């Protein structure tokens, strides 16, 4: 079982650079917006489609903004904890793609719902629906964090981690998080909830597609892959030729295939599987 508080102290050993990069960007944008409030207004995603034409960057930048100190702290903690498990099973390179596309899915659903269903906008006495549309906005990494959380729980619903001192399965932890998210955003208008629903749906569909051998974020994943280090050829070619894979290695590879498909294997893993088939 994973203990989030204990794992936090082991971050340099267990967590990949992409999680640190995302946390760093979020914290940097929050601090910049804190000292320059006008920046926050430029980065938020407005419901008004005409504003989007002028601020075309906001479907991307809104997912790195936050409304307060507590929001950024808890969002980053959840990102780290869930990113740990995600990284362990799906690799560090996929985190960025899931984060970004989950946020974009939420942004798309938010824009469509706000402009096609005006009744979803929050009612403000004395303010017309058109004016509300112009000022209504969303911000925060919570939608992206929810994407990673849903993806992880979809892949490993019965994986157990310790929530403080209580062991909790990921599927139930997701339910707890979703309920708290609904309560927290109940007074902000249904647009935020719709954005989170879109992000969560992407996380679910991504894992389902990945389990069928289709990686929806392969293009983004390739950008964040590290260059392969130089390798020195072995001076004893017979050593590699006579290498016999261990059964636990083979079992781990077969388990990976069953979860995310043969195409997810590295060249070394494919070679191990090939050698095992010759035994």
Same domain, 145 and 50: yes
Q: Could you report the per-residue pLDDT of 129-145, keeping only the tens digit for each?
A: 667 777 788 888 999 99
Same domain, 75 and 207: yes
Domain containing residue 80: 4-222
Same domain, 144 and 212: yes
What percentage of the chain has pLDDT greater than the value 90?
39
CATH of the domain at 203: 1.20.1540.10
Quote the CA–CA distance of 57 and 54 in Å, as a whole number.
Answer: 9
Nearest to 65 by CA among 38, 97, 36, 33: 33
Quote the CA–CA distance of 253 and 49 in Å, as a whole number.
Answer: 47
Amino acid 109: pLDDT? 94
Q: Could you report the per-residue pLDDT of 145-164, keeping only the tens digit for each?
A: 999 999 999 999 999 888 77
* Number of structural domains found in the chain: 2
Amino acid 229: pLDDT? 43
Element (H, E) at 169: strand 166-169
pLDDT at 7 over 60: no
In order, the DSSP letters of 177-239 are HHHHHHHHHTTS-HHHHHHHHHHHHHHHHHHHHHHTT--TTHHHHHHTPPPPPP-PPPS-HHH
Q: Which of 38-52, 107-121, 174-188 has the highest mean pLDDT?
A: 38-52
Among residues 198, 222, 246, which one ends one of the domains? 222
- Both tokens assigned to 5: 């508080």
Amino acid 151: pLDDT? 96
For the entire predicted model, the pTM comes to 0.74
- Both tokens assigned to 84: 């740990």
């Amino acid at each position: 079982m994973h203990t989030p508080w204990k794992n936090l102290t082991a971050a340099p050993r267990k967590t990949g650079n992409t999680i640190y990069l995302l946390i760093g960007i979020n914290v940097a944008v929050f601090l910049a917006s804190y000292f320059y409030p006008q920046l926050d207004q430029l980065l938020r995603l407005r419901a008004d489609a005409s504003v989007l034409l002028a601020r075309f960057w906001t479907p991307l930048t809104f997912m790195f903004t936050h409304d307060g100190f507590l929001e950024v702290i808890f969002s980053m903690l959840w990102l780290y904890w869930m990113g740990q498990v995600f990284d362990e099973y799906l690799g560090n390179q996929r985190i960025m793609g899931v984060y970004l596309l989950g946020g974009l899915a939420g942004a798309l659903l938010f824009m469509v719902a706000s402009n096609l269903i005006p009744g979803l906008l929050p009612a403000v006495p004395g303010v017309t629906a058109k004016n509300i549309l112009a000022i209504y906005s969303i911000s925060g990494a919570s939608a992206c964090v929810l994407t990673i959380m849903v993806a992880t729980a979809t892949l490993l619903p019965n994986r157990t981690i310790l929530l403080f001192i209580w062991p909790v399965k990921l599927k139930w932890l997701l339910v707890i998080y979703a309920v708290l998210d609904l309560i927290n955003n109940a007074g902000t208008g249904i647009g935020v909830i719709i954005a989170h629903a879109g992000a969560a749906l992407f996380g679910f569909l991504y894992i389902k597609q990945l389990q069928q051998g289709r990686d929806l974020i392969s293009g983004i994943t390739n950008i964040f892959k590290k260059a392969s280090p130089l390798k020195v050829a072995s001076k004893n070619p017979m050593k590699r030729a006579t290498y016999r894979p261990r059964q636990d290695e083979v079992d781990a590879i077969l388990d990976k295939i069953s979860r995310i498909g043969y195409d997810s294997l590295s060249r070394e893993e494919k070679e191990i599987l090939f050698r095992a088939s010759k035994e």
